[in-house]
């Protein structure tokens, strides 16, 4: 009975997130696929400019490299930005209804993942046309494991940002700057080899880590061993479950911060 109850709640929250997406584009003919098209336009524009600026020898490989980087970075940046003010924006719902903090976090997370899936459905087929060998790299166990790690890590980062933003309003002011610096300093628009000797710039960046892993297992699967990926996944999952447990235990205390 308990499992059915939680499944019902998850289905309900997932449906709420889907309704939000439908409402956003209800007056457009293409609907939610504008999410994927906007990502495609970004990738195409940046690829057109940077293949010339950086004088890339293999343009197809570079397009795939930045295409996957932008695809996964945009989702991460969106969830970090949204979660920084999530609880404050949900103040009325938290204080006047039976919805708790975990429900709000889950709805926002599902909303972001739905946007990611729509973007993937638009972007990946186009990238496969540009570089057909990409198809064989996508359907591997490492690629699946890397994607699961990405989903857990962005949730973990988002929850930490969300709680921190609730405690201190200054966090919200720093988020745009941190995201911009992380994007510019991380090897998303340029290859990691160009930072030889300065690998710490992106290795110590927790925001780039999910993007680096999910893209790395697709483009260079030998970079990550199965044991390392499993360790990262289990560690991230453990800390995420731990934080959810702490939030559930201190839900009333968090509501007091929301009410301030």
**pLDDT over 60 at 2, yes or no:** no
Q: How far apart are CA 154 and CA 236, in angstroms?
A: 10
pLDDT at 1: 45
Contact assessment for residue 230 and residue 145, using Cβ atoms and an 8 Å cutoff = yes
**What are the b/e assignments for 206-233, b being 16+ CB within 10 Å?**
ebbbbbbbbbbbbeebeebeeeebeebb
Q: How far apart are CA 44 and CA 79, in angstroms?
A: 23
Q: Which helix (H) or strand (E) holds 186?
A: none
**pLDDT over 70 at 259, yes or no:** no
What's the distance, CA 231 to chain centroid? 20
pLDDT at 80: 92
pLDDT at 29: 64
Q: How far apart are CA 23 and CA 27, in angstroms?
A: 8
User: Residue written as tokens 């710039």?
Assistant: 201
Residues in CB range of 210: below 8 A, 6 or more apart:
72, 76, 149, 150, 153, 154, 157
pTM of the shown model: 0.89
pLDDT digit string, tens, across residues 120-150: 988 999 999 988 888 888 888 999 999 999 9
User: Phi and psi dihedrals of 119, rounded to 5?
Assistant: -65, -40
Q: How far apart are CA 148 and CA 237, in angstroms?
A: 10
pLDDT digit string, tens, across residues 55-83: 778 888 888 999 999 999 999 999 998 88
Contact assessment for residue 163 and residue 248, using Cβ atoms and an 8 Å cutoff = no
């Amino acid at each position: 009975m308990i499992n059915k109850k939680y499944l019902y709640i998850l289905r309900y929250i997932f449906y709420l997130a889907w309704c939000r997406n439908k409402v956003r584009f209800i007056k457009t003919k293409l609907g939610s696929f504008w999410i994927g098209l906007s990502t495609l336009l970004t990738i195409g524009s940046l690829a057109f400019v940077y293949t010339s600026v950086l004088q890339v020898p293999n343009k197809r490989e570079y397009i795939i490299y930045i295409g996957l980087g932008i695809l996964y970075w945009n989702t991460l940046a969106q969830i970090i930005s949204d979660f920084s003010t999530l609880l404050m924006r949900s103040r009325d719902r938290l204080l006047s209804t039976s919805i708790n903090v975990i429900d709000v976090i889950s709805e926002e997370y599902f909303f972001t993942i739905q946007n990611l899936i729509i973007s993937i459905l638009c972007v990946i087929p186009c990238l496969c046309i540009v570089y057909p060998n990409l198809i064989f790299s996508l359907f591997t166990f490492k690629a699946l494991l890397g994607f699961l790690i990405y989903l857990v890590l962005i949730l973990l980062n988002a929850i930490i940002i969300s709680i921190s933003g609730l405690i201190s309003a200054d966090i919200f002011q720093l988020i745009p700057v941190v995201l911009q610096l992380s994007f510019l300093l991380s090897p998303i628009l340029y290859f990691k080899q160009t930072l030889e000797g300065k690998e710490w710039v992106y290795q110590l960046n927790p925001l780039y880590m999910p993007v680096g892993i999910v893209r790395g297992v697709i483009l260079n699967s030998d970079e990550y061993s199965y044991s390392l990926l499993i360790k990262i996944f289990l560690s991230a999952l453990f800390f995420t479950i731990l934080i959810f447990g702490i939030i559930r235990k201190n839900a009333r205390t968090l509501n007091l911060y929301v009410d301030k």
